[in-house]
C-alpha cells in the first residue's frame, strides 16, 4: 500500500492522532499526579535507591579526586623510601589505608585517585558495548531478514570466544602499535568491541517478540516512523536482558584488570605486557588489588599486609554492588512500567 507521503499507510480520516491521544490523556490526569506516580515507583523500589545512591557517591568521590589532584592525578603524591616500605606500615593517622610495599605508595590516595580512572574505564567499556549491542540487537529484532542474519552471525561468532582471552588477543595485537599513553584509551574500546554481542543477542530475542505486540502495531498504524518505534517502544521494552548483563560485564572487565596483572606480577613480564596502564604508579583498582594480593598476601600465613588488597577490593566490590542494585532496580522500574 503506497500513499502520497512515500509508502506510509494513509491516515484514516476519523481516527485521532498520537498527539491528540496524548492530549486526551493529559486532560484526565490531575496536575502533579504524574510526578507522584513517578516518585511512587522510586519509593517502592529500594534497590534502585540504594544502587543509584552508591553510584552517585562513587561519582562524587571521582569528581572530588579530579578537582583535588588536578593535572597531577596520575602521579603518586607520596612515595615511601624503601626502608619505610619493607615491611610496609599499616593504616595510621597519616596513611589511613597504610602503605603498599613494592611501589611504596599511600594506599588511600591511590584508591581515591583511581576513582575517576576506573569509573571512566568501566563506563566507557560498558557504554560502548551496551549502546552498540542494544541498538544493533533491537534493530535486528525489528528489521529481520538479511540485516538480522548479518548482525546475529557477527554476534554469534564473537560470543563464541571467551571474552577474557578475546580481549587479550586483541590487546596483544594492538598494544605494540599504540604509544603507551594511548593504550589506556584503547582498552575500553576493545572491551566494547568484544562485549557488544552479549547485549545484542538477548535484546534481539526480546525485540522480536515486542515488535509483534499490539501497542507496537497500533503505533505503526498511527504512523509512527521506524526510528520512533525503535526508540520509543522497542528499546525500552527489550532493555531488561541488557540490564542483567551489565554486572556480568563488570565482572569480565575486572577479571582482565586483576587476573593478568596478578598472574604476571612475579613472572618474567614483571610489569607486564598485559595491562593498559602507562606506568605502575597509574592509579587503578585492579592493578592495586593484583599487586596488593601478590605482594601482600600469603596463603600460608594470612592475612599478611591486608591493607594492600582489602581497600582496592572494597572499592571494586562496592562499585559492583552499586551497579548490580541499580540495574536490578531499573529492571524492576521498567517492569512496573511494562505492566502499567
Partner 1 sequence: MSGSGRPGRCGPGRIVLGALVVAAVTALLVPAGGGAATPPTAAIHAFAAARTSNGTYDSVGGWTTVGGSANRSGYTPLGGPLSSQTGNTYCPSQFPIQAGPVATGSLAYVADVLGNIYAINRTDLDNGGGNGTVVWTASVGGAPTTPDVSSGLLVIGDDVGAISTFGLTNGERDWSHSYAYGAIVDGVAAVDGTVYAGTDGGTVEAVSLDNGSIDWTRNLSGPVSGAVAIAGGQVFASTVGGELYALSATDGAVAWTRTMGGAVATGPAVYGDHVVLADNASAVAVWDTSNGTLLWRWNGSPAFPGDRIEASPGITGTTVFVQTHEANLYAFNASSGALLWNQSNVAFASGYPALSDPAATPTVVYVFDATEQLKAISLATGRVLWRASFDTASYGPVAVDSGEAMIADETGCLHVIGRAGSGISWPVTGTVTDTNGTPLAGVSIFTGLGTDTTNGSGEFAFPLPNGTYTLSFSLSGYVEAVLPLVVTGPVPPIAIVLAPLVLFPLSGTVVDSYSGHGVANVTVDLYGVDAFVAVVTSGPGGGFTARVPAGPVVLDAAPSASHAEGSRVFTMPAGPAAGVTVGVAPTNLAIPPTDPDDVYLLAPLALVGAVATGAWALGARSRRVSEGLTPGILSPFARYVLQRSLIVPAQMVVLLTILYIFGTFLPAAATDSPVCSFSAATACGYCSWSNFGCVTQAFGSGYWAFISNLFTGAWGTSSYGHLTEPSWTFLQWYLPDSLELAAVALTISGVSAYVLGLSAGWNRDRPVDTSVRAVSVVGLLFPSFLVVIVLFTAIYKPFVHAFGDTPFGILPNPPWFEAYDGRVPGWVGIAYNTSPTGFPVVDAALHGAWRATLIGATKTLLQALLISAIYVPLFLRYARHAVAQAAEEPHVVAARARGIPESTIRWRHTGRRVVPIFLLAFAATLPLYVGTQSLVEAMSSDPGVGTLLLSEITGYLATGFGFHAASGSLKPGNFYQVTIFLVVAVVLVASLASEVLSRYLDPRAGRGDRT
Chain positions 286 to 325 lying near partner 1, rule: CB under 8 A, are 286, 289-290, 293, 297, 299-300, 302, 313, 316-317, 320-321, 324
Q: How many residues bind partner 1 (CB under 8 A)?
A: 75
Q: Provide, rounded to whole angstroms, the least separation between the CB of residue 213 and partner 1.
A: 17
281 binds partner 1 (CB under 8 A): yes
Q: What residues numbered 7-66 form the site for partner 1, per CB under 8 A?
A: none
Cβ proximity to partner 1: between 105 and 230 the closer is 105
Candidates 161, 217, 335, 337: give the one binding partner 1 (CB under 8 A): 161
Contacts to partner 1 from residues 94-133, by CB under 8 A: 102-104
SS3 state at 285 = helix
Task: Say whether residue 177 binds partner 1 (CB under 8 A).
Answer: yes
Q: Is 268 in the site for partner 1 (CB under 8 A)?
A: yes
Query: Rounded distance, CA 229 to CA 207, Å?
Result: 11
* Nearest approach, Cβ of residue 34 and partner 1 (Å): 28
Cβ neighbours, 10 Å, residue 329? 21
Minimum CB distance to partner 1, residue 42 (Å): 19
Q: What is the DSSP secondary-structure string of 97-148?
A: T-B-TTT-BBHHHHHHHHHHHHHHHHHHHHHHHHHHHHHHHHHHHHH-HHHH
Residue 312 to residue 290: CA distance in whole angstroms:
9
Q: Which is nearer to partner 1, 4 or 160 (CB)?
A: 160
Beta-carbon-side half-sphere exposure of residue 78 (alpha carbons within 13 Å) = 19
Sites for partner 1 among residues 194-253 (CB under 8 A): 201, 244, 247-248, 250-252
For residue 25, give the DSSP letter: H
* H/E stretch holding 32: none
Amino acid at each position: 500500500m503506497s500513499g502520497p507521503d512515500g509508502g506510509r499507510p494513509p491516515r484514516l480520516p476519523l481516527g485521532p492522532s498520537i498527539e491528540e491521544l496524548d492530549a486526551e490523556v493529559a486532560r484526565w490526569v490531575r496536575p502533579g499526579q504524574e510526578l507522584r506516580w513517578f516518585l511512587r515507583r522510586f519509593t517502592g523500589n529500594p534497590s534502585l535507591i540504594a544502587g543509584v545512591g552508591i553510584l552517585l557517591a562513587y561519582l562524587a568521590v571521582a569528581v572530588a579526586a579530579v578537582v583535588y589532584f588536578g593535572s597531577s592525578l596520575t602521579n603518586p603524591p607520596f612515595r615511601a623510601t624503601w626502608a619505610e616500605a619493607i615491611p610496609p606500615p599499616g593504616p595510621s593517622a597519616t596513611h589511613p589505608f597504610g602503605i603498599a610495599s613494592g611501589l611504596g605508595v599511600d594506599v588511600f590516595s591511590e584508591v581515591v585517585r583511581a576513582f575517576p580512572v576506573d569509573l571512566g574505564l568501566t563506563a566507557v567499556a560498558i557504554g560502548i558495548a551496551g549502546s552498540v549491542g542494544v541498538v544493533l540487537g533491537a534493530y535486528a529484532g525489528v528489521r529481520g531478514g538479511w540485516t538480522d542474519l548479518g548482525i546475529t552471525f557477527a554476534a554469534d561468532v564473537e560470543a563464541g570466544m571467551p571474552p577474557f582471552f578475546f580481549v587479550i588477543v586483541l590487546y596483544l595485537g594492538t598494544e605494540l602499535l599504540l604509544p603507551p599513553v594511548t593504550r589506556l584509551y584503547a582498552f575500553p574500546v576493545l572491551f566494547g568491541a568484544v562485549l557488544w554481542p552479549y547485549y545484542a543477542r538477548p535484546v534481539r530475542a526480546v525485540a522480536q517478540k515486542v515488535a509483534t505486540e499490539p501497542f507496537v502495531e497500533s503505533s505503526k498504524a498511527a504512523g509512527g516512523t521506524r526510528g520512533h518505534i525503535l526508540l520509543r517502544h522497542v528499546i525500552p521494552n527489550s532493555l531488561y536482558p541488557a540490564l542483567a548483563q551489565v554486572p556480568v560485564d563488570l565482572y569480565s572487565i575486572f577479571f582482565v584488570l586483576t587476573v593478568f596483572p596478578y598472574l604476571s606480577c612475579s613472572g618474567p613480564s614483571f610489569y607486564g605486557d598485559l595491562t593498559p596502564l602507562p606506568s605502575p604508579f597509574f592509579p587503578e583498582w585492579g592493578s592495586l588489588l593484583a599487586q596488593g594480593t601478590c605482594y601482600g598476601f600469603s596463603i600460608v600465613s594470612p592475612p599478611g599486609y591486608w591493607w594492600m588488597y582489602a581497600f582496592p577490593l572494597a572499592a571494586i566490590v562496592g562499585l559492583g554492588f552499586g551497579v548490580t542494585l541499580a540495574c536490578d532496580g531499573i529492571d524492576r522500574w521498567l517492569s512496573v512500567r511494562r505492566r502499567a
